[in-house]
Homo-oligomer: A and B are copies of this chain.
């Protein structure tokens, strides 16, 4: 592993905490194993809107509103919101927050966006630049299929290695440290890894090397081992990518993460019964799983230390058609519960 001179893992001295979180999802996600954890399950993927893009936007708007409600905070108590999605020009986030009065930083990190927004929220709170920040991300199966692959009406067959973009959104309110909160002691911003994969139906394979690079750098910099964490959670490598990650970690870095690894793309759907190919993906996948299921398990004390590695495949349909391979990235946020 090439060593960087500049710091990789960023230690947060004031360890910002998660004040509240909320998740909103669509129908297929409601039919999966985590439905009881989500705050709002919409009965159909139209989300009461006239286009898939507006539906995606409404998911994010609802998640942010719900997270603020749960925190008991009006929006003008929030100093900054970091938000992103998969839509061209990040329109889902922009239109979701158009009516709000919160200063907005638009992000693009593909499926790594939830980790990126959470990491940056933690930084601005830790640095006392704002008292509270909101981190949010979303995606929608129908808008993503239309933009990245084929409109649903075309009835295209999806490849076995393809992941299903989650219809969902997650939002976190991040603020000062507190004993009874999940805190963020460390973050790592990922760098691009390009394994030369050109098959856009196999993004798990494209992202696995980026996840491996970031996880190995994190463990190396912090002098910790996989056994120091209750879970190393990737989001979202799916079935193909998760197997690859474990193989790469073992073969290239001599690190065995198999006993503590899980993936948001495998958790959100019933991989046996639901027709989701290699599992879930999209900014909304890890956003919904982390903000609902993982937060609940942490607050119950069932998970005390989690490394959340959000992974993203950063290509566009156009640049893929020009023959370029898929650059990938993974940002890491460490989450602790029950410690000072």
Contact = CB atoms under 8 A, between A and B. Distances in A.
A4 B79 CA distance: 9
Contact of A5 (B5, B76, B80): B76
A255 interface: no
B91 A318 contact: yes
Contacts of A198: none
B130 A7 contact: yes
A54 interface: yes
A245 to B, nearest CB: 19
A89 interface: yes
Interface in A124-160: 124, 126-127, 129-132
In which size bucket is the chain A interface? 35 or more
Interface stretch (A21-29, A33-41, A186-194, A274-282): A186-194
A192 B97 contact: yes
A144 B154 CA distance: 28
A192 to B, nearest CB: 5
A107 B108 contact: yes
Given A105-B107, A322-B54, A98 B4 contact: no
24 contacts: A4-B101, A6-B131, A7-B131, A10-B130, A50-B322, A53-B318, A53-B319, A53-B322, A84-B108, A91-B315, A95-B319, A95-B324, A98-B192, A98-B194, A98-B327, A101-B191, A103-B189, A104-B190, A105-B109, A105-B189, A106-B107, A120-B120, A123-B129, A126-B127
